[in-house]
A and B are shown apart, each in its own frame.
Chain A
Amino acid sequence: MGALLEVTDLTVQYPTRFGLFTAIEGINLSLEPGQIHGLVGESGAGKSTIGAAIIGLIPSPGYVAQGDIKLLGQSLPELSQKAYHKLRGAKISMIFQDPQTSLNPLLTIEDQLVETIRQHSGHSYQEARDKAVALLIETGLENAQGRMSEYPHQFSGGMRQRVVIALALCTDPDLIIADEPTTALDVAIQAQILDLIRRLANDRGVGFLLITHDIGVIAEITDSVSVLRGGKLMEEGKTAQVLGHPRHDYTKALMAAVPRLEEKLDRFANILSDEPSLPTPELLWKVDGASDQFATDWLLAGERHTASDGPVLSVRDLDVTFYTDRQFSLGKGTAVRALQGISLDVQPGQVLGVIGESGSGKSTLAKAIVGLVRPSAGRIEFNGSELPLGRERARTHPSRRKIQMVFQDPYSSLNNRRKIEDIIGEPIRFFDLARDKGEQRRIVASVLDLVGMPQRAMLKFPHQFSGGQRQRIAIARALVARPEFLICDEPTSALDVSIQAQILNLLKDLQAQFGLSILFISHNLAVVRQMSDHVVVLKSGKLMESKNSDDFFAGPGDAYSRRLLAETPSLDLLLGA
């Protein structure tokens, strides 16, 4: 069979103020009909640029500097703008990452489907509508006929992604570029959507180019894969071969950084780093007397919770009820019970993993513990004494210092208008941990050192750092309050695999060094596996299971937990690595 897509020596460049930036360089790949080819790499690897180049929508001012893209033997870069646009939808289509944002919120799905079908065919409205319904049924939307007149916001995330896929399919394209199609979805929905893509490839012979950062997704459904880094192709070949027996050092390192469900590692090993190893002025800049040793001593010098018997944190029968938006009605709005009768304990020096899909109440639990959300019933005990709930907990309450939090998104959890020195120094001043200015500076610099950042970072602003570096800063900020208890709410889900491995290593080190107790929240079972001593599973605000981590991953008792575990993409392929 002739190749569906043939990309040779593709180079895309962007003119910038600092000269020409090469986003991708010398990329080769080919795809047969009915095949799924994965493009995997971390952020900045150029995966999405390849997709954009193929569909001819490279954001201005970027352009294809070199190379060729052939679709069914036709060279694409030679086409006029107009001819290219005719091709979109008809021959190539695309699926975007977030089904929340990829549908027009003001049009019904019927409008959007019928419009797309009629754009590319001479169908009458009724014919187009019939075809749309048939497609929705094919993509597994229940009651497709009845739901045609609904608006996107009336669908759940997984259903919306099915509509998106139906939209991409409705013009019978030969190639679909799927850019992180399951990243925004829960594990269970992800498994269904991946099934659907595999089925469409097999049944319809559509070729898929699947762009993702998730090795699990690659392992699950792709036939072949290209590993990218910094715009260059590192390695390509059959998926089983590339993942199972990687030849390139980068691929090997990447595989080592992927958290596994099957075994708990003490640390992630062998991570490639772009950090220069030679001492640069950046690294040589030091505050007098600051070092990671100083930070360790200072953090340990604070009064410690005398490791007594009994849990550090104990939650009993916690209920949280929210009321829906009341703007449009006269009453109180409908009650949503976000948490119902949650009881759990965190033992001193242990990590409790909290697992749950979106909407399960994981984050609400974290917020209730730190006092950002007011529970409607229940008790929270910290070191044996009861904590006031919600806003009743004074800002001066000792637990405000002892319980610290690391948030999911390091881009929005740091104030962009303040220097790192002020951001990390704030808890020191607020909790009155050090009066002397020089002392404060020394502590900030030392803690940065401790979390693996150059001390000079304290002079900069958050926007000058990458996501991983920001998360280190956020951890430093939590650490500097000398906490006994750390709540990490999805601390790595916004990060690349290798950065995630670094952050998880850091958290493990800190936890061991300072005997921290941690509540570790994640939807990613493999990450929880790597971090936790004990695991609880939440579903729709209820506690499904609470078990020792090793026992849990060896065989969860609860049916829901078993399903979650089964739906997590298997990395069996990697075990040989």
Chain B
Amino acid sequence: MFSFILKRLVQSIFVMLAVSLLAFALFRFVGDPVAVMVGQETSIEDQERLREQLGLNDPVIAQYTRFLGNLVTGDFGFSYRTRQPIGQMILNRMPATVELGFVALLISLAVGIPAGIYTALHNDGVIANAILITTLIGISIPTFVIGIFLIYVFGVQLGWLPTFGRGDVVEIGWWKTNFLTLGGLRALILPAITLGVYQLTLTMRLVRSEMQDVMNTDFIKFAIARGIDYRTVHYKHALRNSMVPVITIIGLQFGGVIAFSIVTESVFQWPGMGLLFLDSIRFVDIPVMSVYLVLIALIFVIINLIVDILYFVIDPRVRLKAEAS
């Protein structure tokens, strides 16, 4: 297992190098950084001096190495737009996005897995079909429409829930959390549902089809023929065997949820990284964009690694093969 993780880590480093190169290219070659920074009345000489100070006249390789070195040491540079250190800006915004993504994932799993099991076991039942059709509608509508719909019903018409912002937050060190106040939790509900609906449908359908496949295997038929409790057959034998592919997809999707929470954050004015990214695009704030790119890649790589490790926990075939080699 150790050598497997080591191998995956080496692969991850290459992925990160590739992404950082892309981010660097974005930073260096999309537009002239100096022209973006300075005002119109800055003289050519001043611009040249700034160029020299920033090291923009150095060979490309040297610049890339410096960029990489800065990233690794946590020096992400400054935003063009706000003149703040980018690391600080992202750290401020990250808790909001992570908490939103986490709750969205929780909703999608807590509803999606039981619904998937139910629809798999009650194939062709009335309720099962109703669930399938409803979620199909859910997955067919774009996220922002769902968001707006929820705002209209629960925010505007019923007035039950807040429709924008994070509400009350509690600061624990630098981490601002929604979880400790009622207002914060209420503010989380609508955006989390909006963000989780797609993943919920996906999880449900995946669990359903995997579970149906597993229910048709010989070992399930054999377990039933041995008179094992149906409950045990379903939850101990079938569910666990359905989980391996489900975990892969859910893991990858979670990366997607965090990376592409942009739309949801924008609809609900949720002050997370997505909104930051959106603002940065609007102002062509390239340093922020390239750091965001690297950060999202890092999140994907880490999630992938966790998914691979989960395989070991679930599937003895993988575990023992790895131990043998």
Binding site for B on A (CB under 8 A): 55, 57, 85-90, 92-94, 96-98, 101-108, 115-116, 119-120, 151, 153-154, 164, 167-168, 171, 324-331, 333-334
Contact = CB atoms under 8 A, between A and B. Distances in A.
Given A101-B219, A102-B222, A88 B321 contact: no
A45 B143 CA distance: 54
Interface string B127-158: 00000000000000000000000000000000
Given A151-B317, A167-B222, A329 B4 contact: yes
B222 A330 contact: no
B228 A329 contact: no
A96 B222 contact: yes
A101 B322 contact: no
B225 A333 contact: no
Contacts of A329: 3-4, 322, 325
Interface of B: 1, 3-4, 6-7, 217-219, 221-230, 232, 236-237, 240-241, 314-318, 320-322, 325
25 contacts: A55-B225, A85-B230, A88-B224, A88-B226, A88-B227, A90-B227, A94-B225, A94-B226, A97-B218, A101-B218, A105-B241, A106-B316, A116-B226, A119-B229, A151-B320, A153-B316, A153-B317, A153-B320, A154-B320, A167-B222, A324-B325, A326-B325, A327-B4, A328-B1, A330-B3
A88 B225 contact: yes
Contacts of A153: 316-317, 320
A504 to B, nearest CB: 30
Given A96-B218, A329-B322, 10 more contacts: A57-B221, A85-B227, A89-B228, A101-B217, A102-B219, A104-B219, A104-B237, A108-B316, A168-B226, A171-B227
- A57, A102, A151, A333: residue with the most chain B Cβ atoms closer than 10 Å: A102
B5 to A, nearest CB: 10
A98 B218 contact: yes
- A55, A105, A154: residue with the most chain B Cβ atoms closer than 10 Å: A105
Contacts of A328: 1, 3-4, 318, 321-322, 325
A234 B320 CA distance: 50
Contacts of A116: 226-228
Contact of B314 (A86, A103, A106, A168): A106
A302 to B, nearest CB: 47
Contact of B223 (A104, A151, A330): A104
**How would you classify the secondary structure of chain B's contact residues: helix, strand, loop or mixed?**
helix
A118 to B, nearest CB: 10
**Which 8 pairs of residues, A with B, have the shortest CB-CB distance?**
A89-B227, A329-B325, A88-B227, A94-B225, A328-B322, A101-B218, A89-B226, A102-B218
A107 B237 contact: yes
Contacts of B1: 328
Contact of B228 (A94, A115, A327): A115
Contact of A86 (B219, B227, B315): B227
A82 B173 CA distance: 58
Contacts of B6: 330
A354 B223 CA distance: 39
Contacts of A333: 325
A171 B320 CA distance: 30
A147 to B, nearest CB: 13
A87 B316 CA distance: 32
B325 A94 contact: no
Nearest to B318: A328
Contacts of A96: 218, 221-222
Contacts of B317: 105, 151, 153
Nearest to B226: A89
Contacts of B228: 89, 115-116, 119
Contact of A106 (B218, B230, B241, B325): B241
B241 to A, nearest CB: 6
Contact of A151 (B219, B222, B237, B316): B316
Nearest to B325: A329
B8 to A, nearest CB: 10
A154 B236 CA distance: 21
A366 to B, nearest CB: 28
A89 B225 contact: yes
B321 A325 contact: yes
A171 B237 CA distance: 19
A117 to B, nearest CB: 10
Nearest to B241: A106
A328 B308 CA distance: 11
Nearest to A170: B226
A106 B315 contact: yes
A86 B226 CA distance: 9
Given A102-B219, A106-B315, A115-B232, A120 B227 contact: yes
A327 B223 CA distance: 32
B120 to A, nearest CB: 14
B223 to A, nearest CB: 7
A213 to B, nearest CB: 18
Contacts of A98: 218
Contacts of B325: 324-326, 328-329, 331, 333-334
- B218, B226, B317: residue with the most chain A Cβ atoms closer than 10 Å: B226
Contacts of A92: 225
